[in-house]
Amino acid sequence: MLDIAFAKPALPKSGALVLLIHEGEKPSGLWAQLDEATGGAIARSFEVAEFKGAKGKTCAILAPGAGLTRVLAIGLGKPAEVTQKILEEAGGTILANLARETAVAVANSALTGQQAAEVALGAVLRSYRFDRYRTKEKPEDKPKLSKLTVLTGEIPKAKAAWEKLDAVAKGVFLTRDLVSEPPNVLDPPEMAERCRKLSELGLKVDILGPKEMGKLGFGALLGVSQGSVKEPRMVVMHWNGASGSGRKSKEKPVVFVGKGVTFDTGGISIKPAGGMEDMKWDMAGAGTVIGLMAALAGRKAKVDAVGLVGLVENMPSGSAQRPGDVVTSYSGQTIEVINTDAEGRLVLADVIWYAQQKYDPKFMVDLATLTGAIIIGLGHEYAGLFSNDDTLSQKLTAAGQTTGERVWRMPLDDAYDKQIRSEIADMKNVGGRPGGSITAAQFIQRFVNGKPWAHLDIAGMAWSAKDAAVTPKGATAFGVRLLDRLVADNYED
């Protein structure tokens, strides 16, 4: 991970310097010093480039003199309109432009400690790479930048803020690693082992195998898993940041549930070959819950939280579930499995019921790469939000705006629920093409037992084909920052 340091504002003698500039700002401080040291090169470049500090605009000056390799100016827009998102994006821009530099310092006339840490977060998030399986990468293709120094007058405040944000970044990286891993490596048992490692952060981790789940009666989850030679797992991760330290009496925990299909072939209702490799990231909901729990523990969030993930592989085989099978879920409700490719909801049904029986949640949020239909509806900009609770929905929407991990509320309605009525069981697992994401959410809602609940369909958000400001292409870890913020803004203390 990119090393972050904070230092007092001073002109560096070598390497690259980034100037973060507000719209309409006049040269002062380091900026003015630099302009003088370079014989006016900065002012001349800004003039030629018509750079005035508008949000997202940049101006690069190569070999400006004064011993520096380059200066990169990044516009922040009007001072009164600078948000955390803008500062993070500036950090991301630094990484995207200067990854081949060895030393980079970032300056701005008035960065508070908190803002300095936010720039650092953006840079770190953008620096993510998954190169575990590259054995022949050329040195000139590798990033060189290993340390970023952010200059601020408030060093202790910057360090304190960074300690928290660093933990969130580590959670994001963990999720991205899990989602990026190939499906032969990351099968359900391996994913459970990676959860077990989180005990190093102070989380309590319980792992259930097929025997335990069989005894409990997890017929829906086990039906999905039965075609695979890989054993299923359910992992429960506990973080007792409110009650654990003895600070507080026990309160209801906040609960997060993730779909963890480590590979989704579709089962007997098999998917077409083209693009099937994408289904290695069908465990992104679970990966996000795991990264979130690591983030909460890493920053010692003052909350009691439980993360549960249902881990299975969906394979066709002689032992696989058939279209037409009827399974009995842990809730006791029976399900006619019309399409074995609608497996995520079957996994979630049992884990969600278990979460409520066992932990009496304050609320539950589940995350799942559940439907292709949500990509048709919302594309790759918003995750679908389905909820039985307006307050929880509003809080999630607000957290989405601040973090940039945005969610859009979709309807739930008895009228849609009719589509999943079955002729022979309590329900069927598909409701036809119309409103495919909604009928999937209606299915999950049948396993919600009167608790405030939100379902995030992240099928369009878990993986990105192109680089974005603070998210390189590939696994995004969408949801880690969103839910960390939901907790931080509403459920601590």
Q: What positions carry a catalytic annotation?
A: 271, 345
Q: Does 372 bind ligand BES (CB under 6 A)?
A: yes
Q: How far apart are CA 187 and CA 261, in angstroms?
A: 9
Cα–Cα–Cα angle for 490, 168, 165, rounded to 5 degrees: 90
Q: How far apart are CA 226 and CA 232, in angstroms?
A: 9
Q: How far apart are CA 375 and CA 55, in angstroms?
A: 30
Q: Does 213 bind ligand BES (CB under 6 A)?
A: no
Which does residue 346 bind out of Mn ion, Zn ion, ligand BES, none, counting CB within 5 to 8 angstroms by kind?
Answer: none
Which does residue 339 bind out of Zn ion, ligand BES, Mn ion, none, counting CB within 5 to 8 angstroms by kind?
Answer: ligand BES
What is the strand order of the sheet 254-264 is part of?
A: 204-208, 233-240, 304-314, 254-264, 363-368, 453-457, 383-387, 407-409
Element (H, E) at 437: helix 436-445
Distance in Å, CB of 267 to Mn ion, minimum: 8
Summarize as ranges the residues that interact with Zn ion (CB under 5 A).
Answer: 261, 264, 282, 344
Which residues in 412-441 contact ligand BES (CB under 6 A)? 430, 436
Distance in Å, CB of 427 to ligand BES, minimum: 13
Residues in the chain: 493
DSSP per position, 97-140? HHTT-SEEEEE-TT--HHHHHHHHHHHHHHT----TT-S---GG
Q: φ and ψ at 277, to 5 degrees? A: -60, -25
Which residues in 431-450 contact Mn ion (CB under 5 A)? none
Q: Which residue's CB is nearer to ligand BES, number 89 or number 282? A: 282
Distance in Å, CB of 348 to Zn ion, minimum: 11
Element (H, E) at 291: helix 284-298
Size of the site for ligand BES (CB under 6 A): 15
Which does residue 419 bind out of Mn ion, ligand BES, Zn ion, none, counting CB within 5 to 8 angstroms by kind?
Answer: none
Q: Which residue's CB is nearer to ligand BES, number 337 or number 365? A: 337
Q: For Mn ion, what does the binding mask look like between residues 249 and 288, x meaning CB under 5 A? A: ---------------x------------------------
Residue 408, judged by CB atoms within 10 A of its CB (0-12, 13-18, 19+), counts as middle
Q: Which residue's CB is nearer to ligand BES, number 301 or number 348? A: 348
Determine how β-strand 147-151 pairs with β-strand 103-107: parallel
Q: Does 313 bind Mn ion (CB under 5 A)?
A: no
First to last CA, the chain: 31
Distance in Å, CB of 339 to ligand BES, minimum: 4
Which residues in 329-368 contact ligand BES (CB under 6 A)? 339, 341-344
Q: How far apart are CA 1 and CA 211, in angstroms?
A: 39
Distance in Å, CB of 179 to Mn ion, minimum: 16
Which does residue 373 bind out of ligand BES, Mn ion, Zn ion, none, counting CB within 5 to 8 angstroms by kind?
Answer: ligand BES
Which residues in 342-371 contact Mn ion (CB under 5 A)? 343
Distance in Å, CB of 263 to Zn ion, minimum: 9
Q: Which residue's CB is nearer to Zn ion, number 86 or number 261? A: 261
Distance in Å, CB of 270 to Mn ion, minimum: 10
Name residues whose C-beta falls within 8 Å of residue 62's C-beta, 6 or more positions apart in sequence: 69, 70
From candidates 89, 341, 417, 457, binder to Mn ion by CB under 5 A: 341
Which does residue 430 bind out of Mn ion, Zn ion, ligand BES, none, counting CB within 5 to 8 angstroms by kind?
Answer: ligand BES
Which does residue 385 bind out of Mn ion, Zn ion, ligand BES, none, counting CB within 5 to 8 angstroms by kind?
Answer: none
Q: How far apart are CA 205 and CA 236, in angstroms?
A: 6
Q: How far apart are CA 233 and CA 191, in angstroms?
A: 9
For the CA atoms of 343, 345, 347, 348, the dihedral, rounded to the nearest 10 degrees, stands at 160
Distance in Å, CB of 261 to ligand BES, minimum: 6
Element (H, E) at 17: strand 16-22
Three-state secondary structure call for residue 30? helix
Which does residue 371 bind out of Mn ion, ligand BES, Zn ion, none, counting CB within 5 to 8 angstroms by kind?
Answer: ligand BES
Q: Which residue's CB is nearer to Zn ion, number 240 or number 369? A: 369
Nearest residue to Zn ion, by Cβ distance, number only:
264
Which residues in 267-296 contact ligand BES (CB under 6 A)? 282
- What CA–CA distances, in Å, run from 97 to 90, 123, 349, 483? 11, 11, 45, 30
Q: Does 264 bind ligand BES (CB under 6 A)?
A: yes
For binding to ligand BES (CB under 6 A), which residues are involved? Answer: 264, 282, 339, 341-344, 369-373, 430, 436, 459
Interface positions with Mn ion (CB under 5 A): 264, 341, 343
